[in-house]
Amino acid sequence: MTIYKAFITIEDPNQVVLSNLPFQKGQRVRVVLVAEDDERATTISQKFRNLFEKTQSLLGVGEITEEEIAAEVKAYRRGE
């Protein structure tokens, strides 16, 4: 199943125009329209910002180098 995701702004509530789609002529597709919930997105964004601020203020976080982070990621991927 091919999934295509696009974000558009409704200009005319009587029709939605999509162009340059990655589908073949005659191919059946399922169309699902989901309105973006601005309040929910704002709440989630704020929670992430708070989390980032909290984690960045933890003792020792500023002392970790990029090389140490890369080594941790590699070790994790090896299952260590």
Dump pLDDT digits (tens) for 39-50: 877 888 889 999
Report how far residue 60's alpha carbon sits from residue 28's, in angstroms, rounded to the nearest whole number. 55
- Whole-model pTM? 0.40
Q: Block means of pLDDT (10 residues each) for the chain, length 80 residues?
A: 87 91 93 83 87 84 83 93
Residue ranges per structural domain of the chain: 38-77
Tokens for 22? Answer: 């990655």
CA distance 16 to 25: 18
